[in-house]
Amino acid sequence: TVPYDPEVLRARALETLLAARARTTGLTGCVDEDDLTAQHSPLMSPLVWDLAHIGNQEEQWLLRAVGGRDAIRPDIDPLYDAFEHPRAARPSLPLLSPAEARAYVAEVRGRALDVLEASPLRGTGLLDGGFAFGMIAQHEQQHDETMLITHQLRRGPAALTAPEPPPAPGDAALLPPEVLVPGGPFVMGTDTEPWALDNERPAHRRNVPAFFLDTLPVTNAAYARFLEDGGYDDPRWWTEAGWEHVRRHGLYAPRFWSRAGGQWLRDRFGVTEPVPPEEPVLHVCWYEADAYARWAGRRLPTEAEWEKAARHDPATGRSRRYPWGDADPGPQHANLGQRHLRPAPAGAYPEGASPLGVRQLMGDVWEWTASDFLPHPGFRAFPYREYSEVFFGGDYKVLRGGSFAVDGVACRGTFRNWDHPVRRQIFSGFRTARDASPRADGGEVTA
Ligand code: AVJ
Ligand code: FE
């Protein structure tokens, strides 16, 4: 059982479920019916599919599995099963209409809150620490990020506005370009986060030799130098599969970039603007991130290196929940929850720095790592194989940290995301690393 007060977790479950629904309502309420049911890209579902899928998962887990209630709409389960129908096929299914989907998710939610009220949040399994409620709040927030990607792909006038302008870049120019992460073991993964998903578990020791990591994510200005140096035309920088991919699809710059009047422009949620040089590069695939790193004489960090940089406190030897410590994310720590509707400039959020001074590990852009998506040693699928297990060993690379579109409930030092190496409609960027000489590990013991 988790070392948290069940009543604190009950309040947090309620708060995070309500916050997720407010965001879902915003993302589906700012466009008309046609926009909700249209396919904006074959890569994405219609928004109305995500909406009803959110409700259907909530019905299955909170009403049926936890609450032991009868099904409201067992007939629609197959329509909203992500494994039954590929995204491109979903617009032609007999989906609930926007009005029906709204009524359905509201009815499910009303009953889910009754179940929350009535459930003891201790013991083992789905109820321990309110896990099922945290899982469903995270699931809704993950689909909110998916819907924001659909909004990015949607054509037409802007439908979304940023709640707040982004912060200033701060002291970026004064920071050392890279930090040395000393070698030795650290604890990767977790046994104690009540709402950590199955792929983040269990905690285990990993030895990570000394390495250097970029203090900041790679910026648009840095990435543009790779373009100007002919990076996309030079097979030396690309893996074989990456070169094949850029040639076949004619890639020449990050997705949503275009060239006009001698400068790079980008489309962002229906507005075209000059590419902001100081912002972390966004909408690059793994192949592009990997090629840039090789061009720069560097490499992508492994997933273990990334997590060590984000969590390991050299002063205590402990792994923190977040780079800044154990406190839940606050607005001073990281750019989350689509607050700025864009990444913040590199160097922002100094209060979110890791013990070694690495910035913006959480929020802003998902960071591609060198690693394939694999289970931690001792992994057990929970509560369903289709969340993580069926993806292990597939054609997926791990992304860490979370983008500006991730909510704090789905953001942790241990949180793992994954996608195909060709994907770039997602809010993906990266930072680079290099090996340190063996002497740089400070003589720490190795596991
Ligand atoms: C963890 C983001 C890869 O969107 O496919 C949502 C999350 N799983 N519903 C995805 C998820 C089931 C998942 N990712
Ligand atoms: Fe889902």
In testing the pocket of ligand 1, which one of 50, 135, 141, 142 has its CB within 8 Å of the most ligand atoms?
A: 142
CA 66 to centroid of ligand 1, rounded, Å:
21
This complex has an ipTM of 0.99
Which pLDDT value is given to residue 438? 63
Residue 35 makes CB contacts below 8 A (sequence gap 6+) with: 47, 154, 156, 159
Q: Would the CB of 412 count as within 6 Å of ligand 1? A: no
Which pLDDT value is given to residue 437? 78
Q: Would the CB of 142 count as within 6 Å of ligand 1? A: yes
Tell me which residue has its CA closest to atom 10 in ligand 1. 142
What DSSP line would sit under 398-422, residue for residue?
Answer: EEES--TT--GGG--TT-EEEE-TT
Tell me which residue has its CA closest to atom 1 in ligand 1. 417
Which pLDDT value is given to residue 447? 39
Which pLDDT value is given to residue 441? 52
Q: Would the CB of 397 count as within 6 Å of ligand 1? A: no
Which pLDDT value is given to residue 104? 98
Residue 141 makes CB contacts below 8 A (sequence gap 6+) with: 20, 23, 406, 407, 409, 410
- The C-alpha atoms of residue 267 and residue 158 are separated, in whole angstroms, by 10
> Ligand 1: which atom is nearest the Cα of residue 417?
1
Q: Would the CB of 139 count as within 6 Å of ligand 1? A: yes
> Ligand 1: which atom is nearest the Cα of residue 416?
1
Residue 253 makes CB contacts below 8 A (sequence gap 6+) with: 227, 232, 259, 264
Identify whether the C-beta of residue 274 lies closer than 8 Å to the C-beta of residue 178: no
pLDDT band of residue 445 (cuts 50, 70, 90) is: very low
CA 222 to centroid of ligand 1, rounded, Å:
30
Q: Mean pLDDT across the chain, nearest whole number?
A: 95
Q: Would the CB of 417 count as within 6 Å of ligand 1? A: yes
* 87 labeled part of a ligand binding site: yes
> Does residue 202 have a cis bond before it (omega within 30 degrees)?
yes
CA 53 to centroid of ligand 2, rounded, Å:
7
The CA-atom distances, in angstroms, between 133 and each of 25, 112, 371, 409 are 19, 9, 30, 11
> Ligand 1: which atom is nearest the Cα of residue 391?
3
Each residue's pLDDT tens digit, 348-395:
999 999 999 999 999 999 999 999 999 999 999 999 999 999 999 999
pLDDT band of residue 18 (cuts 50, 70, 90) is: very high
CA 54 to centroid of ligand 2, rounded, Å:
7
Does the pLDDT value for residue 443 go beyond 60? no
The number of the ligand nearest the C-alpha atom of 56 reads 2
Which 3 state secondary structure label does DSSP give 157? coil
CA angle 35, 150, 276 (to 5 degrees): 120
* 90 labeled part of a ligand binding site: yes
Each residue's pLDDT tens digit, 95-143:
999 999 999 999 999 999 999 999 999 888 999 999 999 999 999 999 9
Does the pLDDT value for residue 446 go beyond 50? no
* Mean pLDDT within 201-206: 98
* 88 labeled part of a ligand binding site: yes
Each residue's pLDDT tens digit, 138-160:
999 999 999 999 999 999 889 99
* Mean pLDDT within 413-422: 98
pLDDT above 90 coverage of the chain, percent? 92
* Mean pLDDT within 318-328: 97
Give one word for 320, left, alpha or beta, with left for phi > 0 and alpha for psi -120 to 50: beta
Say which amino acid occupies 68. G
* 85 labeled part of a ligand binding site: no
Tell me which residue has its CA closest to atom 9 in ligand 1. 139
- The C-alpha atoms of residue 215 and residue 316 are separated, in whole angstroms, by 21
* Mean pLDDT within 285-299: 99
What DSSP line would sit under 224-241, residue for residue?
Answer: HHHHHTTGGG-GGGS-HH
> Which value, in Å, is the radius of gyration of the alpha carbons in the chain?
22
Say which amino acid occupies 428. S
Place of tokens 């004064």: 174
Length of the chain: 447
Bridging pattern class, strands 271-274 and 366-372 = unpaired
- The C-alpha atoms of residue 409 and residue 6 are separated, in whole angstroms, by 17
Which 3 state secondary structure label does DSSP give 326? coil
CA 17 to centroid of ligand 1, rounded, Å:
17
pLDDT above 70 coverage of the chain, percent? 97
User: Cα dihedral sign for 332, 5, 199, 426?
Assistant: negative
Q: Quick one: three-class SS letters along 89-146?
A: HHHHCCCCCHHHHHHHHHHHHHHHHHHHHHCCCCCCHHHHHHHHHHHHHHHHHHHHHH
Tell me which residue has its CA closest to atom 8 in ligand 1. 387
Q: Would the CB of 146 count as within 6 Å of ligand 1? A: yes
Partners of 325 in beta bridges: 322
Does the pLDDT value for residue 2 go beyond 60? no
Tell me which residue has its CA closest to atom 14 in ligand 1. 417
Does the pLDDT value for residue 444 go beyond 60? no
Which pLDDT value is given to residue 442? 52
CA 146 to centroid of ligand 2, rounded, Å:
9
Does the pLDDT value for residue 1 go beyond 90? no
* 204 labeled part of a ligand binding site: no
